[in-house]
Chain A
């Protein structure tokens, strides 16, 4: 018997990536309630603050950046825990992990979809809520930018926590405990950027730091998530 391994054509990545993205779009579109959940949470919690703090505009304006950022952080945390749960239970993860392509790229559609639902939508709508909290309009663009960058980084870190705990029956609380400390620098830089813009200082250095965190997350995050998922399906 010839013991030569059989030659194999390389499989191209782009169409695979496109199909997986389309799959995410369809899956999310069929569950609109889940798509709007982070946004609804964001809107509801922010609307509670004027009730608790009192409607005085100057008082609300002081806390506005922190309120918006912390609420966005919690909205992100809310949905991230179940990111891979269903896929583990129905065998989707097995299919991803046994595919010949690099898991790095196969995971990106998951992360992208989650980021759009729990980050981009909130970031884009945030100036509206900022206005509602009487935040001066000077910080609006920086608010959107910082939330876009920060939510991307939070999604990657949160997905790592979700991947590590997906095999556990009750991973929900554990993910929050694991991930929240990692969110702290992002929160500090995020609110810092908005505060800087509101005080008329240059917000760009802080935004650059957030961008750096996101860039590192994109480069390294999926690798760590891949490894975590491999451990979680192992047995």
Chain B
């Protein structure tokens, strides 16, 4: 098993508050890292740092050894384009094979029949699903998913969890945040970020547990 991502002595501070203090994280093939924490505990910030989107305002080292797929709160879906066009000509320029592959992925996320509808006519959940269809297409081994289940119904979450499990089994790795507990797939590591709103010891990573 080789390492896909490592963070060493990561310290992140935002708005004068220390969000993460000395996090050491190693993500290897087959890992599913589940980042837990209340609102404002720094989950999104941590993921952006791991994705290399936030480069300057943290201490410590982050090293990515492979290409990563980052899915943030914004879906990067252009409402002027149809779901099919959004994926075939994705914002990242990533190749997803041909139209057939894209249509199959759209079917997987329940957008069958919406391939050619302008994305402006889709609901918020459907637009997110367009973005999540990337999980059925991308060849990038490391996935950094920030609240991927937001605005997705429970059936959809089931399909996505199965896809996460498949990716991890196939030698990929996932780092994800979510407010829903995972049901169909088990996290191999859990990062629990401190609650800075409560009177608890501020700014420490409360726990990093390795599941057996």
Chain A residues at the B interface, C-beta cutoff of 8 Å = 1-6, 8, 11, 15-17, 19-20, 22-23, 26-27, 30-31, 87, 89-92, 94-101, 106, 230-231, 233-235
Contacts and interface: CB of A to CB of B under 8 A. Distances in A.
B51 A98 contact: yes
B11 interface: no
B89 interface: yes
A30 B93 contact: no
B93 A1 contact: no
A4 B2 contact: yes
Interface residues of B, number: 40
Interface string B8-37: 000000100000000000001100000000
A19 B89 contact: yes
Contacts of A231: 56
Contact of B141 (A1, A6, A15, A27): A6
B94 A1 contact: no
B112 interface: no
Contacts of A99: 92-94
Nearest 3 Cβ contacts at the A-B interface:
A91-B74, A5-B65, A16-B93
Given A22-B89, A99-B94, A234-B54, A5 B74 contact: no
21 contacts: A5-B4, A8-B65, A19-B88, A19-B93, A19-B95, A20-B93, A23-B91, A26-B80, A26-B89, A87-B91, A90-B76, A90-B78, A94-B53, A94-B72, A95-B76, A95-B92, A98-B52, A99-B92, A230-B55, A234-B55, A234-B57
